[in-house]
Amino acid sequence: MRTWYNMKAVADGAAEILIYDEIGAWGITANQFVQDLRGLGAVSRIDVRINSPGGEVFDGLAIYNALSKHAAEIVVTIDGIAASIASVIAMAGKDIIMPENAMMMIHDPSGGVWGTAADMRRIADALDKGKQAIISAYRRCGLADESLSQLMTDETWFSATDALEKGFCTKVEKPVKMSACFDLANLDRFRHPPAALVAALARTSALPPLESSMTDTATGGGQTPPTNQQTTSLPPGGGGQTEALPADPASIARDCLAAGLPELTPSLITAKATSAIVTARLQDAKTIKDICARAGIADQAAGLITNGATVDSARAVAFEALAARDQASHVDSTQNTPPGTNPKPRGPLNAATVYDRFNNPVRGV
């Protein structure tokens, strides 16, 4: 039976627990975890290794409490990512170790309910209580409750160095090879996953390449369905049109990496962009990079692209930069004008001249 954890005795008086998937998945609850923990018997040390995107809040809290109350010394190592409730479980460790390339994320608990207003108020109250319980686990960091609450509300991602600085881990070690703990398709559960995480997942996930060998055996056509061109037929009466579906997250990640723009991946996945939108956005980003390079403001390209600037707005920024540079480079010739002569005043900036300089930059100057 598939499970999200593995627990075993590894030596006399020692045990190891691996939490390498979504907590509470496949119907395996914290109750089973706690029973297995008791089944380890009298151990003096438990090494808990975590690589998890999180999962069920109250299952995670139960696991944290069980580990915190255990008589053994708990040593936690984050082998990849400890996100959401997985970061709370990590707080049970006497020592919390993170390799340099590991990550931790904390955010507010979330949940949904279908029902009456009273039902929704009950789930909201439960989430508020869950947040307070999570904050109590994070207090070991030494931060004030208000600061912890804000970090959670902001959905804060920590590198190992950041986590050490904030008190969320106790030691940083050399980087290790990462393995993906969840599918790129699940990134939309986070508001702003960092580009470094997306790039790492794109490289390590065991996903089929764009040129997949999958065939349509039902039709016998042997055609390879494109992974980033998804459409669905409209109901009868829709005129035979099709509605574009969001592009496959793995395809988005690969396309962004190939374009040298992995930082765009999270926003495109979260926005559920179609393949056409992804292609257009990457082409615009390439154009914006070229515009900024021509105008001598290459350092501004990344900011413009990340903030969703259009090609036209990037051209406007480039024009302003060129115009300002042209104005600043003007030398006041009146200082060297012979007495009794009137210097020729400098005319206003000529937009055509500035654009000509933009389109035909002087190289090597």
Q: Which residue among the candidates 44, 52, 68, 84 is catalytic per the annotation?
A: 84
107 is catalytic: yes
Catalytic residue among 52, 68, 87, 107: 107
What SS3 string covers the chain? CCCCEEEEEEECCEEEEEECCCECHHHCCHHHHHHHHHHCCCCCEEEEEEEECCECHHHHHHHHHHHHHCCCEEEEEEEEEEECHHHHHHCCCCEEEEECCCEEEECCCCCCCCCCHHHHHHHHHHHHHHHHHHHHHHHHHCCCHHHHHHHHHCCEEEEHHHHHHHCCCCEEECCCCCCCCCCHHHHHHCCCCCHHHHHHHHHHCCCCCCCCCCCCCCCCCCCCCCCCCCEEECCCCCCCCEEECCCCHHHHHHHHHHCCCHHHHHHHHHCCCCHHHHHHHHHHHHHHHHHHHHCCCHHHHHHHHHCCCCHHHHHHHHHHHHHHHHHHCCCCHHHHCCCCCCCCCCCCCCHHHHHHHHHCCCCCC
For the chain, the C-alpha Rg in angstroms (whole number) is: 28
CB atoms within 10 A of CB 123: 14
Distance CA 46, CA 73 (A): 6
192 has catalytic annotation: no
Q: Looking at the annotation, which residues are catalytic?
A: 84, 107
